[in-house]
Chains A and B, each alone.
Chain A
Amino acid sequence: MNEKVMQVPDERGHFGPYGGRFVPETLMAPLEELERAFREAQQDPEFHRELKELLETYAGRPTPLYEARRLGAELGGARIFLKREDLLHTGAHKINNCLGQILLARRMGKRRIIAETGAGQHGVATATVCALFGMECVVYMGEEDMRRQRLNVFRMRLLGAKVVPVRTGSRTLKDAVSEAMRDWVTNVETTHYLLGSALGAHPYPLMVREFHRVTGEEARRQVLERTGRLPDAVIACVGGGSNAIGIFSAFIPDERVALIGVEAGGRSLAPGEHAARFAGGAPGVLQGAYSYLLQNGDGQVLLTHSVSAGLDYALVGPEHAWLHDQGRAEYVSASDREALEAARRLARTEGIIPALESAHAVAEAIRRAPAAKGQIFLVNLSGRGDKDTDIYRENFPELDQNDGIE
């Protein structure tokens, strides 16, 4: 194993050439403060005890490892195991990171929490932990995403959060991050920015990975218990890349285990039609980090598209860029259509409706499984599909006939 892959990031947040801290000076000291708080918490047994208790008694950890036998039998190849992060409280893996960061915010004496959200899952998880800890919560969300994810907007409001529509740029996740950063730079004394993915300036990519590492550690143990060996491949969807880095992190030292990240292939791989950064991007800086970025020849960030709001983002988390360049992980993409079909197939064979984001990972498992007889696939089912019901309805109109009932 390449030692360099094992020991990232360095003390300045660099994953090889990627990551770092590219923000206006006003945010540098707050990032230093956050890093210090995070490192102190990492050394504090009481912090770990409290986080573990919350994860177990509030969020619902450990999550089950479930073998999708009917799906596996239909495909006639690899055995497919699903890590059921969709069964966590609030419906996705996002709660792991939110619980960790809200404890840090409390340590730092911050009483106001801001967050960005794409699909709304991180927004809901943030609103949830703010309610739990009695903190003020403001969530920035692109107007286009608010339209696509109305149910989650309502859930956040029901939980007491303020949802602020973002009307700049493509009105999606990237623009929500920019607005959240503008809020943070303004209210930095009182406010913690609870960033929801393995993105942004150091220490966020490190910190978010560490709070999601629990997924990979549990899954590794569970696969070993159930099958007596490690999986051949670990498959996860990659937007910013938090659920993927969480499950990958436990397997990075296991060289024989293939790590496969699935990006949003959108409508096509033409510019503006997808969010497959490794297919169409080049290294660049956006919102605090250096990584693969969808940009034009003049360094302007391109618009992205995905049927899944949570994958619709122009930059990939910096550790994924590093794993990619080192050849430790492989990155592929699944199209909107492939993800939708994978979701329907999982629903009908296993009785599990996945989030559209997670459906991208399922699609890749479906694609590979027939040629992988005797292999074991571990798929991170990072979220459940309730929030996507409207989009599934739009895309499967044949299922939405009311038989004349008004």
Chain B
Amino acid sequence: MESSERIARRFEAARAEGRPALIVYLTAGDPCPERTPSLALALERGGADILELGVPFSDPIADGPVIQQASDRALKAGTTVERVLEIAAEIRRRSEIPIVLFSYLNPLLRYGFDRLCGDARTAGVDGVLVTDLSVEEAEEPAESLRRHGLDRIFLAAPTSTDRRLDLVARYSSGFVYVVSRTGVTGARDTVNRAVEDLVRRLRARTPLPLAVGFGISRREHVEEVGRYADGAVVGSAVMRVVDESADGVLEERLEGLCRELSGKR
């Protein structure tokens, strides 16, 4: 099956406007599964180009405290993989925003990886990123994703060797998620300068759009990253707002955050 091309088109549109695509992470099911579609639409109204929909997991080893706690709240609210797919389908009924499922491997394995790919595509998901699935172990899952027309998004890290970047480039489609620094997810005051070099190393290997994430929380970070990359990913800053906002103003606050990040008036 062919890819939906939603992700590629969104990067092209942002490029045509001379700005980086804004990719926004949202843990599905926090504060409760019923609310997530409405929060996702608020992010889009504020200027989010691509939605990363997080599947909550009990043991998120790559995440800092903010997203760990968001996952805990989502699980306590009864969020399952099946429920996340329903949420994706609901968002798709109401919007054309590209949706990337962002997950740890185990919940997807338990669901059945190939079955997950089929159901995700039906729900309107465009791509999948599995945090703890390295390219070495990805042959079979990547084939399932490809067969179901889903983009395969892998991470590139500051520690990645040239050999590993070659593999990442070979396996990826849609875009490559460039991890800005060693460490777990979480907001920082500055973006690690060394990521520019990593972006350059990847450019030499792939024509795919490159999106930088980890530690990005402000408009100035998005602007800075936009000078050398094609997109910026914001996660913990979003989930912090979900955690700290009064229930009645959640959508308003999230839309406001994305307006600020995207520079959209």
Q: CB-CB < 8 A to A288: which residues of B?
A: 132
Contact of B106 among A27, A187, A286 (CB under 8 A): A286
New A-B contacts (6) at CB < 8 Å, excluding given A23-B132, A175-B59: A12-B136, A24-B62, A26-B179, A185-B62, A185-B183, A300-B107
* Cβ-closest chain A residue relative to B177: A25
Q: Is the interface of A mostly helix, strand, loop or mixed?
A: mixed
Contact of B134 among A28, A174, A301 (CB under 8 A): A28
Measured in the bound complex, the distance between the Cα atoms of B213 and A117 in whole Å is 32
> Is B160 located at the chain interface by the 8 A CB criterion?
yes
Closest beta carbon of chain B to A370's beta carbon, Å: 41
CB of A178 within 8 A of CB of B183, answer no
CB of A24 within 8 A of CB of B107, answer no
CB of B61 within 8 A of CB of A24, answer yes
Measured in the bound complex, the distance between the Cα atoms of B159 and A333 in whole Å is 42
CB of B61 within 8 A of CB of A178, answer yes
CB of B157 within 8 A of CB of A24, answer yes
CB of A297 within 8 A of CB of B110, answer yes
* Cβ-closest chain B residue relative to A24: B62
CB of A30 within 8 A of CB of B159, answer yes
Measured in the bound complex, the distance between the Cα atoms of B105 and A297 in whole Å is 14
CB of A25 within 8 A of CB of B182, answer no
Measured in the bound complex, the distance between the Cα atoms of B157 and A188 in whole Å is 12
Contact of B184 among A168, A175, A185, A300 (CB under 8 A): A185
Top 7 closest pairs, chain A to chain B, by CB: A299-B110, A299-B107, A26-B157, A186-B183, A25-B155, A29-B159, A25-B157
Contact of A25 among B106, B110, B168 (CB under 8 A): B168
Measured in the bound complex, the distance between the Cα atoms of B160 and A26 in whole Å is 7
* Cβ-closest chain A residue relative to B131: A24
> Is B256 located at the chain interface by the 8 A CB criterion?
no
> Is A298 located at the chain interface by the 8 A CB criterion?
yes
Measured in the bound complex, the distance between the Cα atoms of B184 and A288 in whole Å is 16
> Is B58 located at the chain interface by the 8 A CB criterion?
yes
Measured in the bound complex, the distance between the Cα atoms of B164 and A32 in whole Å is 11
Known: A20-B137, A29-B164, A301-B59. A189 touches B132 (CB 8 A): no
CB of A285 within 8 A of CB of B105, answer yes
* Cβ-closest chain A residue relative to B64: A182
Tell me the total A-B contact number using a CB cutoff of 8 A: 118
* Cβ-closest chain A residue relative to B65: A168
CB of A300 within 8 A of CB of B105, answer no
Q: CB-CB < 8 A to B182: which residues of A?
A: 26, 185-189
Question: Can you list 20 A-B pairs with a CB-CB distance of less than 8 A?
Answer: A20-B137, A22-B137, A23-B61, A23-B134, A24-B62, A24-B179, A25-B160, A25-B179, A27-B159, A30-B159, A175-B59, A182-B61, A182-B183, A185-B183, A189-B182, A284-B106, A286-B59, A299-B111, A300-B58, A300-B75
Closest beta carbon of chain A to B157's beta carbon, Å: 4
Q: CB-CB < 8 A to B107: which residues of A?
A: 298-300
Measured in the bound complex, the distance between the Cα atoms of B61 and A286 in whole Å is 9
CB of A22 within 8 A of CB of B134, answer yes
Closest beta carbon of chain B to A167's beta carbon, Å: 10
> Is B57 located at the chain interface by the 8 A CB criterion?
yes
> Is A84 located at the chain interface by the 8 A CB criterion?
no
Count chain B CB atoms within 10 A of each CB in A24, A174, A285, A287 and give the residue with the most. A24
Closest beta carbon of chain B to A169's beta carbon, Å: 7
Closest beta carbon of chain B to A190's beta carbon, Å: 10
CB of B109 within 8 A of CB of A29, answer no
> Is A293 located at the chain interface by the 8 A CB criterion?
yes
> Is A21 located at the chain interface by the 8 A CB criterion?
yes
Measured in the bound complex, the distance between the Cα atoms of B183 and A200 in whole Å is 18
Interface size on B, residues (CB 8 A): 40
Measured in the bound complex, the distance between the Cα atoms of B165 and A28 in whole Å is 11
CB of B110 within 8 A of CB of A295, answer yes
Measured in the bound complex, the distance between the Cα atoms of B177 and A71 in whole Å is 61
Known: A29-B159, A32-B161, A168-B68. A300 touches B136 (CB 8 A): no
Count chain A CB atoms within 10 A of each CB in B61, B81, B134 and give the residue with the most. B61
Closest beta carbon of chain B to A289's beta carbon, Å: 10
CB of A299 within 8 A of CB of B106, answer yes
Contact of A26 among B133, B159, B168 (CB under 8 A): B159
> Is B38 located at the chain interface by the 8 A CB criterion?
no
Measured in the bound complex, the distance between the Cα atoms of B156 and A27 in whole Å is 11
| 120-151 of chain A: CB within 8 A of chain B | none
Closest beta carbon of chain B to A116's beta carbon, Å: 12
CB of B160 within 8 A of CB of A28, answer yes
Measured in the bound complex, the distance between the Cα atoms of B91 and A7 in whole Å is 50
> Hey, what's the 0/1 contact readout for A260-288 against B, CB within 8 Å counting as 1?
00000000000000000000001011111
Contact of A300 among B57, B157, B158 (CB under 8 A): B57
Q: CB-CB < 8 A to B106: which residues of A?
A: 284-286, 293, 295, 299, 301
Closest beta carbon of chain B to A180's beta carbon, Å: 9
| 157-192 of chain A: CB within 8 A of chain B | 168-169, 174-175, 178, 181-182, 185-189
Q: CB-CB < 8 A to A28: which residues of B?
A: 134, 136, 157, 159-160, 164
| 132-171 of chain B: CB within 8 A of chain A | 132-134, 136-137, 154-161, 164, 168
CB of B154 within 8 A of CB of A25, answer yes
Q: CB-CB < 8 A to B111: which residues of A?
A: 298-299
* Cβ-closest chain A residue relative to B184: A182
Contact of A287 among B59, B131, B160 (CB under 8 A): B59
CB of A284 within 8 A of CB of B110, answer yes
> Is B206 located at the chain interface by the 8 A CB criterion?
no
Closest beta carbon of chain B to A282's beta carbon, Å: 8
Count chain A CB atoms within 10 A of each CB in B80, B106, B154, B183 and give the residue with the most. B106
CB of A29 within 8 A of CB of B160, answer yes
Closest beta carbon of chain B to A21's beta carbon, Å: 6
Q: CB-CB < 8 A to A189: which residues of B?
A: 182
Count chain B CB atoms within 10 A of each CB in A12, A22, A185 and give the residue with the most. A22
Measured in the bound complex, the distance between the Cα atoms of B167 and A29 in whole Å is 13
